[in-house]
Amino acid sequence: MHEPNRPIPAFAEPDWAQVARIPVAECGEALCTLRLSPALRVYPAYRHLGIPDAVEDCQVRLEVFERLLRAAGSLPDGLMLVVLDAWRPIAVQQHLYRTLEAAMARHHPQADAATLQRLTRQFVSPPSRDPLAPSPHLTGGAVDVTLCDAQGRWLDMGSRFDEVGPRSFSAHYETVTAGDSAALAIRDRRRLLHNAMLAAGFSNLPSEWWHYDYGDQLWAWHHGQPAALYGPTAPPSLEGLWQQQLAERFPSPL
């Protein structure tokens, strides 16, 4: 049952080694665009930030789209789900990881390589096209979301999108005191988003209130599934579509 105000548990960070060992049983679902859906607001955050190679659309697997619609439909009247990022090119993943790791190194000059990787991957996964262990956003199963009102005003969720600090942890505001009305309002908004997304079948990355997964290895780990549904994917190119169509129309002779 969907309980909009159910508290957000303080989950531990995923065991990334175990996540990477979960097999991928690619189901072959295509990517689809979100920006044509009237039920969602789409704001490709990295494109607007000028990140090199960032895409101007948000695309997800077909089943992820259906589950986003389910989550959006469960929100109270006057609130909408905003999608900030979904499928992500490997070049963008590389840029984000490299940039944050360098910032972490400047902030923690005594940290060794393993510590820097641990600190960085709390907020950005290492870039990987490996079909056995791809970066979540490369699969089309990971989405970054927030809330806005019917006029498009973004709700205060307690931290900025992609903020690298303790306020970004999903359960950060669960310990606020009863007299702090502003923090309690943030807590309740996070609960609303979290519970709507989980009721639609997603899992949440505990260090990012905005990050949710369906069908990828991280989702499989959280839900105890024997395999992930999605491996690395990409939107089809025009050349690739033509090649496929020609191959279907003119099969090679035996």
Lowest mean pLDDT among 64-78, 129-143, 235-249: 235-249
Does residue 253 have a pLDDT over 80?
A: no
Lowest mean pLDDT among 26-35, 93-102, 115-124, 205-214: 115-124
Q: What is the pLDDT of residue 243?
A: 78
CA–CA distance, 63 with 219 (Å, rounded to integer) = 13
193, part of any domain: yes
- According to DSSP, the residues that pair with 61 across neighbouring strands are 31
pLDDT digits over 196-252, tens only? Answer: 999 999 999 999 999 999 999 999 999 999 999 999 999 987 776 677 778 888 876
Q: What sign results for the dihedral spanned by CA atoms 134, 247, 29, 147?
A: positive
Torsion angle, alpha carbons of 184, 186, 188, 189, to 10: 170
The alpha helices in the chain, defined as continuous H runs, are: 16-21, 45-48, 62-73, 90-107, 113-121, 181-199, 217-223, 238-249
Question: What average pLDDT does the chain have?
Answer: 93
Please give the single-letter amino acid code of residue 142.
A
Indicate the number of domains in the chain.
Answer: 1
CA–CA distance, 245 with 52 (Å, rounded to integer) = 32
pLDDT digits over 76-87, tens only? Answer: 999 999 999 999
CA–CA distance, 214 with 61 (Å, rounded to integer) = 9
**Which three-class secondary structure state does DSSP give residue 189?**
helix
Annotated binding site for Zn(2+): 137, 144, 211
Q: What is the pLDDT of residue 239?
A: 76
| 92, 53 contact by CB (below 8 A) | yes
Rounded average pLDDT over 101-108: 88
Q: What is the pLDDT of residue 83?
A: 98
Pair of tokens at residue 179: 């007299």
3, part of any domain: no
- CA-nearest of 88, 31, 84, 86 to 62 is 31
User: What percent of the chain shows pLDDT beyond 70?
Assistant: 98
Q: What is the pLDDT of residue 112?
A: 87
**Residues whose CB is less than 8 angstroms from the CB of residue 55 and which lie 6 or more positions away in sequence, other chains included:** 44, 46, 47, 87, 88, 89, 92
Q: What is the pLDDT of residue 254?
A: 54
Between 250 and 72, the higher pLDDT residue: 72
128, part of any domain: yes
**What CATH number corresponds to the domain at position 102?**
3.30.1380.10
254, part of any domain: no
Question: Any idea which residues carry the catalytic annotation?
Answer: 208
pLDDT band for 1, please (50, 70, 90 cuts): low
32, part of any domain: yes
Q: How far is CA 208 from the centre of its chain?
A: 9
| 110, 104 contact by CB (below 8 A) | no
Q: Using the structure block, give the residue that is written with the tokens 């090199």.
A: 52
CA–CA distance, 223 with 72 (Å, rounded to integer) = 21
Rounded average pLDDT over 174-185: 92
6, part of any domain: no
Domain housing 167? 16-249
10, part of any domain: no
Annotated binding site: 137, 144, 211
138, part of any domain: yes
Rounded average pLDDT over 146-159: 97
CA–CA distance, 118 with 158 (Å, rounded to integer) = 24
